[in-house]
């Protein structure tokens, strides 16, 4: 499942319902700490960074024993979240999984329901205007699971095709230079003045945002809690907002 910890208006009713019914709650410790008041009285299984397999394995083990289990992700569980890994492990273990929540047919190990949330690029985009109004690509700069040469190829392709680009995991202490490298790849195809925005901790306490340009990204201010949005050839900055037009005004006339 997916929750948007830190801004309760985005805790969708279905997610809250699932969390309320859960016996076991599994997740990254920081995310669970943000919703600790919603998990009182439940068995909590938490861990730190790079323990994703252990968390998903623990959730699967608990579900196999008949417990109602919720895995908490930030943003949307199916976008750089835990949903895919749960399916990967279930497939590797040759488990039989139902898509009907609560159904315990003979031969079915347990059911899975993926509950949508507000993806980080959605939340970030809403804070700076409407930068994702036209075609866009989401790319993670983390080379922990994806080699840099593959990331670079994707950045180059998205930039050359004039996609708006939403960059996840842009900069960490262990890879402080990859954002600068990504910036240089995109600059092969876009001018220095291309509109860009950085939103750190969108919808959470301490949120920070910055409207800037591709050439002037404040690299030192960007971290793993940030989303970087880079406009396409039509994107513009106006009155403190970043907008990517869909093209309506090129085709239709607006009354005076």
The domain spans of the chain are: 8-111, 120-243
Low-confidence residues of the chain: pLDDT under 50:
1-9
Which pLDDT belongs to residue 99? 78
CATH (one of 3.90.850.10, 3.30.950.10, 3.40.50.720, 3.90.1300.10) for 120-243: 3.30.950.10
* Residue linked to tokens 């019914």: 21
Q: Which residues neighbour 56 within 8 Å (Cβ) at sequence distance 6 or greater?
A: 26, 71, 82, 85, 86, 89
Q: What angle in degrees, to the nearest 10, is found between the helix axes of 52-64 and 83-92?
A: 60
> What's the pTM value of the predicted model, to 2 decimals?
0.89
Which pLDDT belongs to residue 105? 64
CATH (one of 3.40.50.2300, 3.40.1010.10, 3.30.565.10, 2.70.240.10) for 8-111: 3.40.1010.10
């Amino acid at each position: 499942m997916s929750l948007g910890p830190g801004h309760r208006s985005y805790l969708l009713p279905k997610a809250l319902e699932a969390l309320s019914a859960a016996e076991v709650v599994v997740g990254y410790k920081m995310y669970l700490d943000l919703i600790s008041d919603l998990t009182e009285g439940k068995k909590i299984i938490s861990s730190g960074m790079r323990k994703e397999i252990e968390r998903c394995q623990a959730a699967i083990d608990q579900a196999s024993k008949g417990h109602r289990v919720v895995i908490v992700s930030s943003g949307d569980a199916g976008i750089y979240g835990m949903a895919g890994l749960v399916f990967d492990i279930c497939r590797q273990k040759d488990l039989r999984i139902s898509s009907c929540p609560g159904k315990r047919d003979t031969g079915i190990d347990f059911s899975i329901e993926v509950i949508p949330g507000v993806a980080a690029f959605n939340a970030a985009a809403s804070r700076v205007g409407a930068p994702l109004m036209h075609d866009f690509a989401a790319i993670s700069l983390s080379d922990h699971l994806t080699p840099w040469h593959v990331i670079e190829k994707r950045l180059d392709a998205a930039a050359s095709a004039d996609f708006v680009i939403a960059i996840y995991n842009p900069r960490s202490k262990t890879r402080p230079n990859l954002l600068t490298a990504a910036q240089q790849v995109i600059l092969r195809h876009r001018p220095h003045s291309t509109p860009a925005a950085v939103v750190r901790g969108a919808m959470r306490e301490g949120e920070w945002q910055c409207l800037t340009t591709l050439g002037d990204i404040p690299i030192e201010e960007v971290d793993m809690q940030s989303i970087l949005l880079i406009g396409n050839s039509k994107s513009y900055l106006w009155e403190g907002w970043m907008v990517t037009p869909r093209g309506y005004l090129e085709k239709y006339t607006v009354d005076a």
